[in-house]
């Protein structure tokens, strides 16, 4: 429809028809009609020639999609080849990110790992058995014995023989060993026995046993007894027997297995 309309438009143009028949016939009414016929035929021929030159062959229709696919594939491959680094870094994102931050300053931390000393546990269980006040000072008793180099059981055993581990002592004296309050009181037997606190008492007695007894060769209950509890010597050595008894009991206290 559009082609027919275009042909009519051209044929109605005298200038166009004249250009087609120019040089063939004179411009008369008769030649005009013949010219129209000639012009029409030439226009149709030109249109058919145009359509023939530019028509799409069936083989082109089959090859065109394949060629487009190959061109696209080559384009993508070339892009990835020349832009792999940026593509991998910027386009490919992991499902999650892991961030590692290095500390600016390296600090040293000291971990205080406390372990239960089996000896202290035996002392604690001993005083717990008799419901004695010194139960809560078991650790301090063992630590102080190690400090002065004294048998870790000795202070506890003497303390129970003399004052039942703190149950039978003069009021506010903290003295379950019958120990003088100071070296002067010890030397002069002044009868002053107030030691101020259980910690002070434990330290005072342990240090005194080391200095006035063990360092002088009095390192067993039998050797300590004549100086520490003279009346007991004439009574069959009851004091030494008592101390030895509790030394063995403390040693044999069974601690809970871990």
What mean pLDDT is predicted for residues 56-61? Answer: 56
Residue 150 has what pLDDT? 97
CA distance 37 to 53: 25
Task: Return the closest-CA partner of residue 250 out of 121, 141, 123, 139.
Answer: 123
Residue 176 has what pLDDT? 94
Dihedral through CA 149, CA 152, CA 156, CA 158, nearest 10?
-50
What is the total residue count of the chain? Answer: 258
127 and 40 in one domain? no
129 and 31 in one domain? no
- Answer yes or no: is 97 within a domain: no
227 and 127 in one domain? yes
Dihedral through CA 143, CA 144, CA 147, CA 149, nearest 10?
-110
CA distance 15 to 18: 5
% the chain with pLDDT above 70: 57
Residue 28 has what pLDDT? 43
126 and 44 in one domain? no
Q: What are phi and psi of 191, to 5 degrees?
A: 85, 10
229 and 133 in one domain? yes
- Answer yes or no: is 157 within a domain: yes
What is the span of the domain harbouring residue 148?
118-251
Residue 184 has what pLDDT? 76
28 and 134 in one domain? no
46 and 125 in one domain? no
Residue 86, CA distances (Å) to 79, 89, 96, 145 in order: 11, 5, 19, 73
pLDDT at 92 over 60: no
138 and 41 in one domain? no
Q: What is the pLDDT of residues 244-254, one digit of tens each?
A: 999 999 999 99
- Answer yes or no: is 27 within a domain: yes
- Answer yes or no: is 214 within a domain: yes
> Are 225 and 233 within 8 A, CB to CB?
yes
What mean pLDDT is predicted for residues 226-243? Answer: 94
137 and 222 in one domain? yes
Q: What is the pLDDT of residues 121-174, one digit of tens each?
A: 999 999 999 999 999 999 999 999 999 999 999 999 999 999 999 999 888 889
| pTM of the model as a whole | 0.54
Structure tokens at 112: 């205080």
Domain boundary among 38, 55, 72: 55
136 and 30 in one domain? no
Q: What is the pLDDT of residues 67-83, one digit of tens each?
A: 777 777 777 777 666 66
- Answer yes or no: is 100 within a domain: no
Mean pLDDT of the chain: 76
CA distance 246 to 258: 25
Q: What is the pLDDT of residues 191-219, one digit of tens each?
A: 788 889 999 999 999 999 999 999 999 99
Q: Which residue has the higher pLDDT, 211 or 84?
A: 211
238 and 127 in one domain? yes
CA atoms within 13 A on the CB side of 147: 14
**Number of domains present in the structure of the chain:** 2
pLDDT at 17 over 70: no
Structure tokens at 61: 């229709």
Residue 99 has what pLDDT? 44
Which letter does DSSP use for residue 131 in this model?
A: T
CA distance 76 to 232: 108
- Answer yes or no: is 246 within a domain: yes
- Answer yes or no: is 257 within a domain: no
């Amino acid at each position: 429809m559009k082609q027919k309309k275009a042909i009519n438009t051209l044929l109605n143009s005298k200038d166009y028809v004249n250009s087609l028949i120019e040089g063939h016939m004179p411009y008369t009414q008769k030649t005009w009609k013949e010219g129209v016929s000639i012009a029409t035929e030439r226009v149709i021929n030109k249109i058919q020639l145009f359509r023939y030159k530019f028509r799409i062959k069936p083989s082109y229709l089959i090859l065109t999609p394949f060629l487009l696919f190959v061109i696209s594939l080559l384009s993508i491959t070339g892009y990835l080849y020349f832009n792999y680094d940026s593509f991998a870094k910027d386009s490919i994102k992991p499902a999650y990110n892991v961030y590692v931050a290095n500390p600016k300053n390296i600090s040293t931390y000291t971990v205080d790992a406390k372990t239960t000393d089996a000896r202290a546990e035996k002392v604690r269980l001993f005083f717990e058995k008799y419901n004695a006040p010194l139960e809560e000072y078991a650790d301090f008793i063992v630590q102080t014995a190690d400090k002065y180099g004294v048998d870790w059981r000795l202070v506890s055993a003497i303390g129970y023989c003399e004052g039942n581990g703190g149950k039978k002592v003069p009021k506010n004296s903290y003295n379950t060993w019958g120990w003088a309050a100071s070296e002067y009181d010890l030397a002069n037997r002044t009868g002053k026995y107030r030691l101020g606190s259980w910690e002070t008492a434990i330290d005072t007695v342990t240090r005194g046993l080391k200095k006035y007894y063990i360092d002088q060769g009095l390192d067993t209950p039998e050797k300590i007894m004549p100086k520490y509890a003279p009346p007991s010597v004439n009574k069959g050595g009851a004091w030494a027997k008592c101390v030895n008894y509790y030394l063995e009991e403390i040693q044999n206290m069974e601690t809970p297995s871990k």
